[in-house]
Structure 1
């Protein structure tokens, strides 16, 4: 991946519990009206700074007359750091309710003056993805069609698909493959299930979690390899609680800040 959006990094950080390459029969882990907020910290030398915030949300939608989910992801740098590197990102994805297959994806980002406008239309009946990409490097619209055979995900719908998986059948160190389209290219990646672990959050509360590492794509942000770890709540919500990843210029961490409209009861810590 050449130029990669800030929120793409975060969604990749939050999605490595992704999938065995199969499609789900139904969605169960969330509902329309859910909102989740994250605080993003960046390792600057010997200190960690509050660099950004990210919000994810789910709404009901219609796509070609059929009921669907509208997934939203928004990211921005904190105002006090805008003078260093201003980020304003928005992501939208439409997916089917029953199998969570992606139907449409739109990325509109502006980071440090570098702009990307990227759209995908998923044509499942034809096994193709139609794409339209405009960047600051190439003002001319790039339009192409990509073939695909197995289930495939954009970086936003992948997160919600992942939250519906039953992790009980996984064994520690087991690799779980998934297909992801980023920057107009399809990548065959995998995550490694690391088992269950108790996680202490910055506020001192401890939670039961499911832990993973993820294989990253080598590019301008990542060196490649399994330098990403994610902890997901070990309950029906399966909400990512913490993520950390090594990047070329330090480390990034994302911590869950707040939730609203969860389908199931609030995520309960072990120490009230």
Structure 2
């Protein structure tokens, strides 16, 4: 589940641009399912991503984006999971200001906090598992290195015509004390049928999240993602193979989109 919340939050579509799409009131709902030869396509979890506008105590305005992944009630007796990721974004510069994660997976807990300082191009990170003391690190910051949620919103205004089929590119994801690299290739356009939602015109990408060493993709996570072929560019369907079968996430609802969802075929 944590993998798919992060993947949904990593739109990974093109090289960085100054514009980002933060629209208060936007809500994206997803279902996560497991599929194998001996098992039906079983829904096991849900993910929701919400964007709101939130004033700070000192009067500044921020966009607040929250991504929450949960195990469905039917499976919580077996494995209870609730992962929450939150960022605050400056409404003027459209840059992330703060990030935090609060992860609960069975008996395992993990929390992390990032504070961005764009004036001197650094980010301060703090993280810990369970109730151990915090570890801290300060790292250099570039326009290409952001947390997972900021990357998700980065470039949603990119023109699809700028994508080049089979041309590899790399994005950078900030993760505690290191930078993880996300490699992707645009595979082209196709029509994608989504359960209970209909058929969509989609942009298809093959992506691979590098290992903790950063540049190694030999044993990183590989997944395929389809995003809506319209101005919203929202993730529609994600598929990732596992040792037995595959895990899939697909959009199950949406509201408050900034642009009409013209990719939906009537």
Using the size of structure 1 for normalisation, the TM-score is: 0.86
Higher RCO, Cα 8 Å, sep 6+ = 1
Does 2:137 correspond to 1:147?
Answer: no
Q: Distance in 1 between matches of 2:89 and 2:197?
A: 36
Per-residue displacement from partner, 1:167-199 (whole Å, max 9, x unpaired)?
211210012221111243212332111111111
Give 5+ residue unaligned stretches, structure 2.
none
Q: Distance in 2 between matches of 1:184 and 1:267?
A: 40
Q: Distance in 2 between matches of 1:120 and 1:162?
A: 21
Cα pair distance change 1:162/1:23, threshold 3 Å: closer
Q: Distance in 1 between matches of 2:221 and 2:76?
A: 31
Q: Distance in 2 between matches of 1:180 and 1:200?
A: 30
Does 2:61 correspond to 1:67?
Answer: yes
Q: Distance in 2 between matches of 1:31 and 1:42?
A: 31
Q: 116, 120, 126: which one pairs with 1:132?
A: 126
How many residues align structurally?
260
Instruction: For 1:213-252, list aligned pairs within 5 A.
Output: 213-218=206-211, 224-225=219-220, 227-248=222-243, 250-252=245-247
C-alpha displacement of 1:31: 1.4
Q: How well do the aligned residues superpose, as a CA RMSD in angstroms?
A: 2.4
What stretches of structure 1 move > 6 A for 4+ residues in a row? Answer: none
**Matched residue, 1:46:** 38
**Matched residue, 1:157:** 150
Cα pair distance change 1:87/1:13, threshold 3 Å: same
Q: Distance in 2 between matches of 1:232 and 1:155?
A: 17
Does 2:139 correspond to 1:107?
Answer: no
C-alpha displacement of 1:14: 4.9
Per-residue displacement from partner, 1:38-84 (whole Å, max 9, x unpaired)?
01102356222111001001011345654321111011101111111
C-alpha displacement of 1:109: 0.9
Give 5+ residue unaligned stretches, structure 1.
1-5
